[in-house]
Structure 1
Amino acid sequence: MDQIAGGRQLAAEVAEQVTLLLETTLTDLQRERLRYIHKAVGALLTLLGGAETTVAPTLEPIAPGERPVEPSLHVAQARPLVLLVEDNPFTQKLMTRLLLQQGYRVEVAQNGQDAVDQLARLPVDLVLMDLRMPVMDGFQATREIRSREATSGAKRLPILAVTALLGEEDQRHAMEVGMDGYHAKPVRAAVLFSEMERLLSIPAEGDTAPPAALEADGERVIVDMDRLLKTVDFDLDLLREISSLYFSDAPRQMARIERGLADGDANEVREAAHSLKGATGAFGRVEVHTLAFQIEQAGKSGELRRAAELWPRLGSALRLMEETIQKEISQLSGESS
């Protein structure tokens, strides 16, 4: 038996076993992965039995916890390359995972200058641009990108602002410097992907990511575990990883706020609260997010006395959120073991 015939027989056997497994009781994630394998094997069988001129595709392995993507994204066309420009490590991790789950390739830039440098050597299809960053902010970076495009005659690169800056002035400024859209944090995955597809002219196939959870008016929300679990695709290892990253960085931001209050530095208070608010968005509009937003606004308006009143409440809410998430993870681990 030659290699092609042997490969065809093996692929057929795998397809048969996957078909049988699909008829058994499975979780949604297991069923989704098996369907991906089934389609991939089907594509392989078609190639092995097709015309001699057919070129075999490269099927990339799925990273642990990554949602399988329709094989057409791997075979029929190159997946779009997204440059994520974001300085917050927690947000970098979460956004990268969400983009990978959706089938995009991802590169990360730490600030606007890093983004401009990377664009000089990478064939990027779309930029997700934070606005407030060190070294070079998103506004300056976009101006530089548009200036270089005008000089070189290069095709216009879609740039989508993804930011916790919510003011109308910031949105207007983003459009003035040449951005193509504006997505306010906390990220609403379905809305973000829809906007990305519009800019990339990719036909929408329906929402594949869960919408943001809604909190009851007036209710104190410590953590929205339902939203959080859906965000990480029920991957407890990823949940542990991003939670550890978040609660490792949060004390640094709290210390920055405290230092700003002690020094009378309203800008430092605003910047630190803004960073904490942006990272907390992944957990939903929880109490920590609300308090960080209020401190950010107090810093923006120079009301440091108000910020000082909110700071200990923010610390208490952070500790309670960490305890709650750790308890939930322990319970879920026990249930799944």
Structure 2
Amino acid sequence: MGAWIVHIPAVEDRAGISHAVLGWLLLLLGAGAFVGMQIVGPLTDRVGARTVVPVSAALCSAALVLPGLATNVWALGAALLVLGFGNGCLDVSMNAHAVQVEHGYRRPVMSAFHATFSIGGVLAALVGARTLSWGLSPAATLGAIAVAGLVAAAAAAPALLHAERAPDVRKAEVATRTGRRTPRRIWLLAALALMLMLCEGVANDWSVLQLRDVLDAPAATAALAYGAFATAMTVGRLLADRVAARLGPVAILRYGAGVAALGLTAAALSPWIPLALIGWTVFGAGLSGCIPQLFSAAGHADRDAAGANVSRVAGLGYLGMLAGPAVIGPLTHFMPLNLTFFLPVAFCVVAACTAGVLRPRPAPSDATRAVRS
């Protein structure tokens, strides 16, 4: 996904489209991802992540080359739809497998997985910058990375974990659950994911513009705003598992979201560039551990429906990330850009106040014993 982002300008030029058209086409990427998430979540519960993850990884890798081959708006739209579908399939299935791995470790490890995703984005930026400087076409670079992805999918497949229950038992249990309503707690986790990933989307799309347009920072300095945010996110995710093991997921979400609110408030109100950069750094550090805790809680809420539950949380979260630019943009017609950031600040405050939803629920047998006693 990082490789695609790096090559967006080159792909846009090759397809001969405007920024406005590209904005609409990116909605197809999000739509494809959302559909993929909803399909693969229950499928992962039925056949196991060991089967679904390699197939999803292969599909996502093979689809990566398609945008590099597109020469018109229709071809690019179809390519982004397929790439989004593959990405959505992989996103849910690998997070469901991460829940299984975390259960085996018996300690938090989800944030580390998300940290490697962030590291992949950094590596993609470095590789993309080098290949673009060499004059290689997007199709060549994306094709090479697609091959690397296919090799990685094949190499990882034998090491993936088997389902802990027999397939016929799993299928029977999942079939029984299909008629049941999704627990209220899962929808609460999904709503929090939507709000917090919207905050992340705001940083991705508006942090640089805030320094440039509000504080009149030079272009090179303004670019440091997103760099500071992304770096803090990566470092925070590498450290969050240890903190979660000691303090618990509730503390990670409560204090992380609270710190993020303070950081974004400082960035929004700061009249000085250095303080704004510090604010974006603190914002990234605060947010870093929040989303992994939501994914982990959704997966552990019902081990036999982990895929379906993760797909709901990830699906709404993905919509939130896409909605960030869409929400902030229209608000700038009524208020300065920096003041619009108080909407994500409010979302962070809501997340901090409702962090108790992450508190593990007692098993039915434990609850029954408590009532009897």
Task: Give the shorter-chain TM-score range.
Answer: under 0.3
- Higher share in helix: 2
TM-score of the superposed pair, with normalisation by structure 2: 0.24
- Higher share in strand: 1
TM-score of the superposed pair, with normalisation by structure 1: 0.26
